[in-house]
Amino acid sequence: MSLEDLGDKGRRAKSERAAAKSGVGAKPTLKTIAELTGLAVTTVSHALADAPQIALETRQRVRKVAADIGYLPDRAAQRLRTGRTNVISLVLDPHEEILGYATSMINGLTEALRGTAYHLVITPHFSDTPQIEPVRHIMRNRMADGIVFTRTEPADERVKLLMENNFPFICHGRTELATAHPYVDYDNYSFAYQAAKKLIAAGARKLSIILPPERFTFAHHLRHGFMTAVREEGIGFETAKGVTLDSKSDDIRDYLFHRMGEPERPDGYICGGEVSALAVMASAYDHRLELGRDIRLVAKQTSGLFDQIRPRVETIYEDLTEAGFLMGKLLLKRIAGPVPIQELQALQTV
């Protein structure tokens, strides 16, 4: 600190003293407003809450002062007193590095939370602990008013736990539990069904689908849609063995490359993710198989990526940003008060 700073410090007057700490102006509290208006702290609090027993004129005056000095309630104090955290927790598996899957959802979520008092906290779920741990932790320690998570399983423990405790949440994907629960999901059944139909229409004779790990519900949906289509058409099919959408992309490609070198190889692929679709293309390329003639492909598109992929690939779009936005909106609705569960369910159509 220089001499000038010290000199300046000495010269500081009353008004500046309070401002010294933050350098931007001391943080105003209810007390500040109370002093400015000559009212009691309690009155100010009520006025800002728009309580009807406070005179309208007073409410307006308080609101004006609050706005003028840029008052913002202290989250910690509010949280301590009321128990509400004003936090939404997104439980993220760092594994989901899959090309901006999380980013899109986060963008949608922040957009939904925009203008509200809610903050988005990222709670990682590290793979060396059980999946339910972060959820239990958030609930037990009241770390958030609502939870968002993804990759739902048919008998998802998290869903059970949260439902049992009536804790607000929404998940991406459905369970197969008897009890209805809030969710946002993409119609993966239709995706797979339509993808298969497209491939068949384009001349494919034997289809293959690369599925997510079996433990996820949407793997079943994809399989079901796929199977329905191939059975309707009475056409050959298989599912990729030994690799899933979560496998390392090199492993997926190695599997595909190998499979494409065997007899009875599939000539139509359905890919539930962009990376696996690229792996199909890479394998075909490495075998000098021509896309659209030797090998056909329908991919799920979740980013602008495939607009630049050549040769052009048929894709079906899933809007993850919208999914995030929906999850945010529905969760807020649920937090605001009890809502019939069916109003907290959204299925994004293909």
Partner DNA sequence: CGGAAAATTTGTAACGATATAGATGAGGCT
Partner DNA sequence: AGCCTCATCTATATCGTTACAAATTTTCCG
Question: Can you give the binding site for DNA, defined by CB under 7 A?
Answer: 27, 29-31, 38-43, 45-46, 48-49, 51, 53-56, 58, 71, 73-74, 77-78, 80-82
Least Å distance between CB 336 and DNA?
15
CA angle 331/334/335 to nearest 5° reads: 85
Q: Of 53 and 141, which has the nearer Cβ to its own copies? A: 141
Q: Of 237 and 244, which has the nearer Cβ to its own copies? A: 244
Q: Of 289 and 347, which has the nearer Cβ to its own copies? A: 289
Residues within the interface to its own copies (CB under 8 A): 22-25, 27, 70, 72, 74-77, 79-80, 85, 92, 94, 96-104, 106-107, 110-111, 114, 119-124, 126, 136, 139-143, 164-166, 248-250, 253, 275, 278-279, 281-282, 285-286, 303-305, 307-311
29 binds, among DNA, its own copies, none (CB under 5 to 8 A by kind): DNA
From 102, 152, 125, select the one nearest 324 (Cα to Cα): 102
Least Å distance between CB 260 and its own copies?
13
Q: Of 4 and 57, which has the nearer Cβ to its own copies? A: 4
Least Å distance between CB 285 and its own copies?
4
From 177, 174, 164, 237, select the one nearest 206 (Cα to Cα): 237
- CB-count exposure of residue 12 (10 Å: 0-12, 13-18, 19+): exposed
Q: How far apart are CA 267 and CA 229, in angstroms?
A: 16
Least Å distance between CB 57 and its own copies?
28
- CB-count exposure of residue 160 (10 Å: 0-12, 13-18, 19+): middle
Q: Of 30 and 170, which has the nearer Cβ to DNA? A: 30
Q: How far apart are CA 243 and CA 211, in angstroms?
A: 8
Whether 263 and 231 have beta carbons less than 8 Å apart is answered as: no
Tokens read off for 144: 């958030």
Tokens read off for 157: 């423990």
Q: Of 86 and 190, which has the nearer Cβ to DNA? A: 86
